[in-house]
Structure 1
Amino acid sequence: MRGRFFVIIAVLSLPFLLAASLHEYHVSVTQMQYNPAQKAFEISIRIFTDDLEKALTESAGQRILVKNGDKNDPLVERYIRKSFVLTDGTRKPAALHYIGKEQEEDATWVYLEIPYQGTLAGCRLQNSTLMEVFDDQVNMTNVKFTSEKKTYLFKKGQTIHNL
């Protein structure tokens, strides 16, 4: 009898334990570093894999799972192109080259490159990644250009920053 009681308690507790293991916050971290030799920004975006899967599933209209070696790079690229945009001083979007993605543990790294010459005067960065999915989404973006380092927080209602 006592053994059954513990089994019942364990079974009833399982959903709560599983829910606690999922992350309760929605954040991405982006490193955007200028490489003067290549005249380009090298960008890596770290996104929780389950959040990325939810966004891709909603945009594709079918269940999308992200893992290394899958065939989802075109979906990821299309999604990132809509949500991550650098514009120059004339408000012209800079060319974005999708390099690829790498899934590790609970996160997926997305790698990009943006060819760029000149100063950041008048430049604007949009990072609205996952904001259509999660109202509390925050995208922390670290930008290193020449010797300057700045961190920008993108959130609902503030998806664009002047660099």
Structure 2
Amino acid sequence: MSLVTNSRKGAKTRTFFAPLRICVILFLCLSAFGFSKHDFHTSITRMDYNAKEKSFEVSIRVFTDDLESVLSKENGGQKFSVLNNDKNDPYVEKYIRKHFAIVTTAKQKKPYSYIGKEQEADATWIYVEIPCSEAITGFSLQNSIMLDVFDDQVNLVNFNYQGQKKSYIFKNEDKVLPLGL
């Protein structure tokens, strides 16, 4: 305990554990805002058309804790811990196939190869390759990743096709959008 003299009034004011006060104030402020890991739910996808291979190379970035939550929900509450060298790839692949696709004019999902996943800090990158030798005129893109779990989920797709670039934003009301360049 330290004593501080107030020069205006000549009175002594007691200051108890100033660092503890700061910690208590900080704790109360954080409690008011919650302890969530992140305040928003989003995924970012990059789709690049490889003309030589006639396929789209796709990289999908999601928050790892969100991916673990959605896998748990999709699999009867089973607990998931997504790591680089785990045995969860079949679950991740199944989920991505259900929620991400190029849809043809015949309303068919184009088949694709699941390449794998890679963890980076608090995010997980998921890689797929979608063969596509025909023109994409009239095709649509489905990206409903985590839209069924988080009301505020936003999925951004940066689409590069034959030198043209376009970005798409998917929300609950827009799970499938036309691919128009």
Give the structure-1-normalised TM-score. 0.90
CA distance in 2, matches of 1:5, 1:62: 43
Match for 1:28 among 26, 35, 43? Answer: 43
Asked if residue 47 in structure 1 is aligned to residue 69 in structure 2, the reply is: no
Task: List aligned pairs for 1:129-140, cutoff 5 A.
Answer: 129-140=145-156
Of 145-154 and 6-15, more deviation after overlay is shown by 6-15
Task: List aligned pairs for 1:65-84, cutoff 5 A.
Answer: 65-84=81-100
Identify the residue that residue 160 of structure 2 maps to in structure 1: 144
CA drift at 1:73: 0.3
RMSD of aligned residue pairs (Cα, Å): 2.3
CA distance in 2, matches of 1:106, 1:17: 24
Amino acid at match of 2:24: I
CA distance in 1, matches of 2:90, 2:59: 17
Identify the residue that residue 20 of structure 2 maps to in structure 1: 6
Structure 2 stretches of 5 or more lacking a match?
2-15
Give the structure-2-normalised TM-score. 0.82
Match for 1:92 among 108, 115, 130? Answer: 108
Identify the residue that residue 118 of structure 1 maps to in structure 2: 134
CA drift at 1:9: 2.3
Residue aligned with 2:40, SS: coil
| Percent sequence identity over aligned pairs | 44
CA drift at 1:56: 0.5
Amino acid at match of 1:35: N
Identify the residue that residue 174 of structure 2 maps to in structure 1: 158
Residue aligned with 2:170, SS: strand
Structure 1 stretches of 5 or more lacking a match?
none
Asked if residue 102 in structure 1 is aligned to residue 108 in structure 2, the reply is: no
CA distance in 2, matches of 1:127, 1:103: 21
CA drift at 1:15: 6.3
Of 21-30 and 77-86, more deviation after overlay is shown by 21-30
CA distance in 2, matches of 1:148, 1:85: 20
CA distance in 2, matches of 1:138, 1:5: 40
Point out 4+ residue stretches in structure 1 off by more than 4 angstroms. Answer: 10-15, 17-21
Identify the residue that residue 6 of structure 2 maps to in structure 1: none
Larger Rg: 2
CA distance in 1, matches of 2:176, 2:88: 27
Structure with greater helix share of residues: 1
Residue aligned with 2:117, SS: strand
Amino acid at match of 2:125: W
